[in-house]
Amino acid sequence: MDFFIQLLVNGVSIGFLYGLAAMGFVMIFKSSSVLNFAHGELMALGAFIFLVMIGWAGLPVYLAFPLALVGCFALGFVVERIFLRPLIGEPLIYVIMLTVGLASMFKGVMLFIWGGNLYTFPDFLPAGLAIQWRSINIPPVYVMSIAIGITFLILFGLFFKYSSQGIYMRSVADNQPAALSLGVHVRKVFALSWAIAALVAGMSGIVLGIINGINVHDLSSIGLKVFPVVILGGLDSIGGAVIGGIIIGLLETFTGGYLSTSLRDVIPYMALVFILMVKPYGLFGLVEIERV
Amino acid sequence: MRKLHFHPCGNFNERYEQELTIFETDFGRASLLIGLFILFAVVPYISGPYLLYIFNMIAITSIAAIGLNILTGFTGQLSLGHGAFIGVGAYAAAILSTKAGFPFILAVPAAGLITALVGILFGLPSGRLKGLYLTIATLAGQFIIEYLLIHWESLTEGTMGIVLPGTSIFGIALDSDRSFFYIAFISLIIMTLLAVNIMRTRYGRAFIAIRDNDRAAEGMGIPIFPYKLLSFGISSFYAGIAGALMAYYMISITTEPFNLGLSVEYIAMIIIGGLGSVAGAIYGAIFITGLNEGLRWLTDILMGIDILSSIGISMAPLREFAFGTAIVLFILLEPRGLAEVWRIIRSNFRLWPFSY
C-alpha cells in the first residue's frame, strides 16, 4: 500500500511538471494554432541560461532565477521576430515544419556548446519545503513544482479571462482575419505569446533541471512528451494541460512501478493513439464545429 | 515523323491532356534518356566503391523521400514517423528473408505492403479529425514502432539486430556495390514512374485537392478520410520499399538508425528539394546525402587540426545544426525548394533576353 501511495505521489509530482511544460505549449497553440516542436529545446535553453547565470556568472539564486526568466522572455521575442514573423499568413504546415527545423537547430547549438553531458544545479532549495507524512516523502523540488504549477495556472486563467492582451490572443487564435479587421495587433500578439511561452518553457526547464539535472536529449524528449499531455487535456485548454499532465504522469509511474520500466517511456504515446481514437478533442478541448 | 515539341514562350495548352504530359518537350525526353544511359552504362564503371556507395544511398533515400513527398507535399499531411516506417520495411524484409526464406524479388514488395498496412494502422486515429492530427499520430507511431522493434525480441532479435543472408536476383548475386547500383536505380526509376503517374490519376488529383482546401475537396465529393489513409498507405509503401533495399544493402540491420532524427532528416529532404514535386524529392535526397558526406569530410579535417581536436568536435551536433538550419533557411527564403530554383534557372535561360 505504501508503494502504491508513493507511486501516486510521484506520479502527481511528475505530472505537475509535465503540465507545467505543456502550459507553454498550449500558450502558443492558443494564440497561433501552431504545434511547437521546438518546445523541449526552449525548455533546455532556459535551463542552460539559468546554469550559466548561477554557474559561470556566479549570481545568487534569487537574482539568477528572475534574470534567466527575463532571458527566456527575450529569447522568445527574438525567435518570433527572426523566424516566425516572416511566415504570418503562410500555410500552417510550413510554420510547423519550421519549428521542427528550429528544434534541431537549437539542439545542435546546445550540443555544440555543452555537449550531451548531464549538468546539475547546486542544491539551493531549503529542506524545510519537504513534506514528510508517515512513510510518504515529497522532496522539496516537487513541492516547489506543484506551487509554481498552481500559481501559473491561476495567473494564466486570469490573464486569458480578464486582461485585454489575453482576450486579443484568444481572438487571434479563433479567427486571424477577423481579429485583424477588428484592430487587433496580430504581430504584437504573436510576439507576446512566443515570449510568454518561452518564459514558461524556460521555467519548467529549470524546475526539471533541478530534479533530474539538465541534459539536452532528456529535455527535448520531454518536450515531445508534451503531445500526449495536451492531446489528453485538450489542445487549447491550460487547465486541461495540467490535468492531462497529471494523468500521464500517473500512467507513467504506475506502468514503471508495476509493469516494466522499459514500457514507461512509450506508454504515453500508446495512450495518445488511444485518445485520438476515442476522444480526439481531449478532456477539456474545444470541439471544433465547421460550418461551410 | 511527328512534329518535335520545343519550349513555347508561354502557356498555350488547349487540352487537359497537354497539362498532364510528363514531358513538355521532346528535348526533355531526349535528355532524360541520355542521362539514364550515362547513369547505367558509364557511371558504375568509372566510379570507385565509395562513390558507388553514395550513389546507392541516394537512390534508396530518394525512394523514401518520394514517399514522404506524396504524403506531405501532395496531400498536405506532415509525418514525423517516416524514419520508423523505413525501419518497419527493413525489418520486414530481414525477417521475411531469414525466417520465411523469401527471395529478394518477393521480399521487397512484401515489405512494402506490410509497411503500408502498418502505416494505415497509425493513420486511423487521425480519421476523426482534420488538420494536423496525423502529425501527432505519426509522432506516437515513431515511438511505439521503435519500442516494438527493440523489445519484440522473438521477432526482431532486439538490439542484436539481424544479419541478412547473401541474396541474388535472377541468378545474379547482389554482393557488390555495382550490382546493387543497378537494383537500386531500377527500383528508383520504377517508383518514380509510379509516383509521377499516380499524381496524374484521380487519386493524385484528389490528394492535391485535399491539400489545397479540404472543405472544398469534400464539397466536390472527395471522401477525405479514405483518401488521406490511401495517401498515407502509399507513402508508407515507399518507405517500406526503401527500408527493404536498405536492409539488403547494409546486410546487417539494427534498430538504431530508425529514430526520430531520421524522420526529421526526411522532412528536411522534401523541404529542401521542394514540396509537391517528385523530382524535388530526388534533389532533396541528393542534397542531404551530399551534406551528410560533406559534414563527415569536414569533421575529419577539423579533427586533423590540433587545436580543434582537443575540443573534440563530433559529428552529431554539426549534423543536427546543419539540418535544422537548412530546413529553416529553405522555409524562410525558398519555401518551394530546389525544384523551384531549378525551374527559375531554366525559365531564365528559356526567356533570355526578355525574361519578364
Residue B33 covered by a domain: no
Residue B309 has pLDDT above 60, yes or no: no
Span B55-93, pLDDT tens digits: 999 999 999 999 999 999 898 888 888 999 999 999 999
User: What local confidence, expressed as pLDDT, does residue A291 receive?
Assistant: 56
Ramachandran class of B170: left when φ > 0, alpha when ψ lies in -120 to 50, beta otherwise: left
State the nearest Cα–Cα gap between B143 and chain A, in angstroms: 6
Instruction: Tell me if A87 and B147 make a contact (CB, 8 A cut-off).
Output: no
CA A157 to chain centre: 16
Joined together, the cell numbers standing for residue A292 give: 461551410
- Residue B64, number of CB atoms within 10 A of its CB: 30
Residue B4 CB-density burial (10 A; 0-12 exposed, 13-18 middle, 19+ buried): exposed
Tens place of pLDDT for every residue, chain A, 292 residues?
778 888 888 888 888 888 888 888 888 887 777 888 899 899 999 989 888 888 777 777 778 888 888 999 999 999 989 988 888 777 788 888 899 899 989 988 888 888 777 887 776 666 666 666 666 667 777 777 778 778 888 888 888 888 888 888 888 877 778 888 888 888 888 888 889 889 888 888 888 888 778 888 888 888 888 888 988 888 878 888 888 888 998 998 888 888 888 888 889 888 888 888 888 777 877 776 655 5
Instruction: Tell me if B335 and A90 make a contact (CB, 8 A cut-off).
Output: yes
User: What local confidence, expressed as pLDDT, does residue B311 receive?
Assistant: 57
User: What local confidence, expressed as pLDDT, does residue B90 receive?
Assistant: 92
3-class SS of residue B257 = coil
B274 vs A150: CA distance, rounded Å: 45
Q: If you average pLDDT over residues B115-133, what whole number do you get?
A: 81
DSSP run (H or E) holding A80: none
- Bridge partners of B253, per DSSP, are B162
Q: If you average pLDDT over residues B294-306, what whole number do you get?
A: 78
User: What local confidence, expressed as pLDDT, does residue A18 receive?
Assistant: 85
Residues 6+ apart with CB under 8 A from A253: A7, A8, A10, A11, A14, A264
State the nearest Cα–Cα gap between B276 and chain A, in angstroms: 13
Residues from chain B that touch A86, judged by Cβ atoms under 8 A, are 332
User: What local confidence, expressed as pLDDT, does residue B5 receive?
Assistant: 67
Span B137-165, pLDDT tens digits: 888 889 999 888 888 877 777 777 787 77
User: What local confidence, expressed as pLDDT, does residue A34 receive?
Assistant: 83
User: What local confidence, expressed as pLDDT, does residue B298 receive?
Assistant: 83
B248 vs B60: CA distance, rounded Å: 11
Joined together, the cell numbers standing for residue A121 give: 544545479
- Bridge partners of B173, per DSSP, are B168
- Residue B210, number of CB atoms within 10 A of its CB: 23
3-class SS of residue B168 = strand
User: What local confidence, expressed as pLDDT, does residue B1 receive?
Assistant: 54
A19 vs A22: CA distance, rounded Å: 5
φ, ψ of residue A16 in degrees (nearest 5): -60, -40
User: What local confidence, expressed as pLDDT, does residue B203 receive?
Assistant: 92
B79 vs B238: CA distance, rounded Å: 14
The CATH number of the structural domain formed by A2-278 is 1.10.3470
Residue labelled with grid coordinates 488538420: B131
Structural domain range at position B275? 42-351
Joined together, the cell numbers standing for residue B87 give: 525501419
Which CATH number goes with the domain that contains B250?
A: 1.10.3470
Joined together, the cell numbers standing for residue B342 give: 531549378
Joined together, the cell numbers standing for residue A58 give: 556566479
The total domain count for chain B is 1
Residue B316 has pLDDT above 60, yes or no: yes
Residue B304 covered by a domain: yes
What residue of A is the nearest CA neighbor of B263?
A: A100
Could you tell me if B68 and B235 are in contact, meaning their C-beta atoms sit under 8 angstroms apart? yes
- Report how far apart, in Å, the C-alpha atoms of B186 and of each of B59, B181, B191 are: 9, 8, 9
Amino acid sitting at position A195 = A
Span B324-355, pLDDT tens digits: 898 899 989 888 888 888 888 888 887 777 76
Q: Mutate one of B215, B275, B327, B336 to test the A interface: name it (highest A CB count within 10 A).
A: B327
3-class SS of residue A96 = helix
Residue labelled with grid coordinates 558504375: B44
The CA-based diameter of chain B, rounded to the nearest angstrom, is 69
User: What local confidence, expressed as pLDDT, does residue A165 receive?
Assistant: 86
Residue B165 CB-density burial (10 A; 0-12 exposed, 13-18 middle, 19+ buried): exposed
Could you say which of A94, A103, A273 has the minimum Cβ distance to residue B331? A94
Q: What residues of chain B, 23 to 62, have a C-beta less than 8 Å from chain A?
A: none
Name the nearest CA neighbour of A19 among A275, A222, A254, A276: A222
Joined together, the cell numbers standing for residue B85 give: 516506417
Q: If you average pLDDT over residues B40-52, what whole number do you get?
A: 83
Residues in A whose CB is inside 8 Å of some CB of B read 35, 37, 83, 86-87, 90-94, 96-98, 100-112, 116, 224, 227-228, 231, 262-263, 265-266, 269-270, 272-273, 276-277, 280-281, 290, 292
Instruction: Tell me if B139 and A292 make a contact (CB, 8 A cut-off).
Output: no
State the nearest Cα–Cα gap between A61 and chain B, in angstroms: 30
Name the nearest CA neighbour of B313 among A113, A88, A23: A113
Question: Does B274 contact A at CB distance below 8 Å?
Answer: no
**Max avg pLDDT among A107-116, A260-269, B34-43, B111-120:** B111-120
DSSP run (H or E) holding B253: strand B252-253
User: What local confidence, expressed as pLDDT, does residue A226 receive?
Assistant: 87
**Max avg pLDDT among A257-261, A281-285, B96-100, B107-111:** B107-111
More confident residue, B171 or B110: B110
Joined together, the cell numbers standing for residue A208 give: 526539471
Q: Mutate one of B210, B331, B334 to test the A interface: name it (highest A CB count within 10 A).
A: B331
B284 vs B187: CA distance, rounded Å: 18
Q: Would you give the DSSP letter of residue B164?
A: P
Span B190-223, pLDDT tens digits: 999 999 999 888 999 999 998 888 888 888 888 8
Residues from chain B that touch A273, judged by Cβ atoms under 8 A, are 122, 125, 137, 140-141, 144
Q: What is the ipTM of this complex?
A: 0.84
- pTM (2 decimals)? 0.87
* Alpha helices, H only, chain A: 2-32, 39-51, 61-79, 92-114, 140-162, 164-174, 176-181, 186-212, 216-233, 238-254, 267-278
Instruction: Tell me if B324 and A107 make a contact (CB, 8 A cut-off).
Output: yes
Q: Map out the domains of chain A as residue ranges.
A: 2-278
3-class SS of residue B132 = coil
What residue of A is the nearest CA neighbor of B137?
A: A273
Residues from chain A that touch B264, judged by Cβ atoms under 8 A, are 100, 103-104
| pLDDT > 90: percent of chain B | 27
Could you tell me if A197 and A55 are in contact, meaning their C-beta atoms sit under 8 angstroms apart? no
- Report how far apart, in Å, the C-alpha atoms of B13 and of each of B16, B18, B199, B201, B276 are: 8, 6, 19, 19, 22
